A and B are shown apart, each in its own frame.
Chain A
Amino acid sequence: MSAGPDLLVAIAVSVLLVAGSIFSLLAALGLLRFPDLYTRMHAASKAGTIGSGLLLLAAGLHALDIAILLRALAGFAFFVLTAPVSAHLLAKAAHQAGYKLTNLSVTDQLPLAKQKSDRL
């Protein structure tokens, strides 16, 4: 059983890789299937973050090198910090540009007057 730890690492890496790939695939599918930009940002910001985070973790674990693992974790941390900012900015810009919510939408409490004051 000298291959024990190696096997465990291999299994953990495989599980992380498959899970990360599935989340990334579903994020892409969400971009395709959701009806407007706002709902699409949900798929891109959440499933995308988890997907790439799991893939980075798999890469870090596979290397069995603490320096590479730390770098992978740092990459994930930066993903978590930046993904919501870009999703937020895209949604805000779209709303200010007057991009309508999908017809399925039930409410929009963000006032239109706000858009004018922002443009000045």
Chain B
Amino acid sequence: MRFRAMRFIVVNLLLTLVWAFVTGSFTLHNLALGFAIGAMSLLLVRDQLPASLNRVRPIKLLLLVGLFFKELMLSAIKVAVMVLRPNMRLRPGIFAYPLTITRDFEITLLANLITLTPGTLSVDVSDDRKMLYVHALSCHDPAAERRAISSGFERRIREAFPL
């Protein structure tokens, strides 16, 4: 019970911080209002909250964030260059990617990261959560795409959130 209360306070403080960012005011009144609204929102979703907080390695998480912004920039430039070519030379397709991560939030994170990186877009996850279906702009070599995901984002996610 003590851990639940601790977690509630930590998450609520984070929400209060986000509230202060979004409203752009750090006065005591506004922070109190943010805390109250955060508590009410947490109360609404209390049944969906996970039973325990996941362990996080902060430095590995920073590496993941860094990798993500680098890939996002490269990805935007790649799509931009592709759009400008007179002949776009597209070889699109959907390939299946076998997942080695198992937890829902990890799969969600991976799917979102894949969508924002060069030439790939998550389309679907199989019902048993073992396969991620990814649409690629140039799908002539699905094996290479799979290798890139498993040695890039998937490895980083596993490192940042150890079981």
A residues in contact (CB < 8 Å) with B: 22-23, 26-27, 29-30, 33-36, 38-39, 41-43, 45-47, 49-51, 67-68, 70-71, 73-74, 80-81, 83-85, 87-88, 91-92, 95, 101-102, 104-110, 114, 117-118
Contact = CB atoms under 8 A, between A and B. Distances in A.
Interface string B102-116: 000000000111011
B123 A88 contact: yes
Contacts of A42: 79, 119, 121, 135, 137
Interface stretch (B5-13, B84-92, B147-155): B84-92
B150 to A, nearest CB: 16
The 4 closest A-B pairs by CB, nearest first: A84-B115, A67-B24, A50-B76, A107-B93
Q: DSSP majority for the B interface?
A: mixed
B22 interface: yes
A102 B92 contact: yes
Contacts of B63: none
A46 B127 contact: no
Interface of B: 18, 21-22, 24-26, 72-73, 75-76, 79-80, 82-84, 88, 90-96, 111-113, 115-116, 118-119, 121-124, 126-127, 133, 135, 137, 139-140, 142
B90 A39 contact: yes
Nearest to A50: B76
Contacts of A49: 72, 76, 116
B35 to A, nearest CB: 18
B76 A101 contact: no
A23 B112 contact: no
Contact of B121 (A51, A70, A87, A117): A87
A13 B73 CA distance: 18
B135 A91 contact: yes
A67 B122 contact: no
Contacts of B123: 38, 88, 91-92, 95, 110
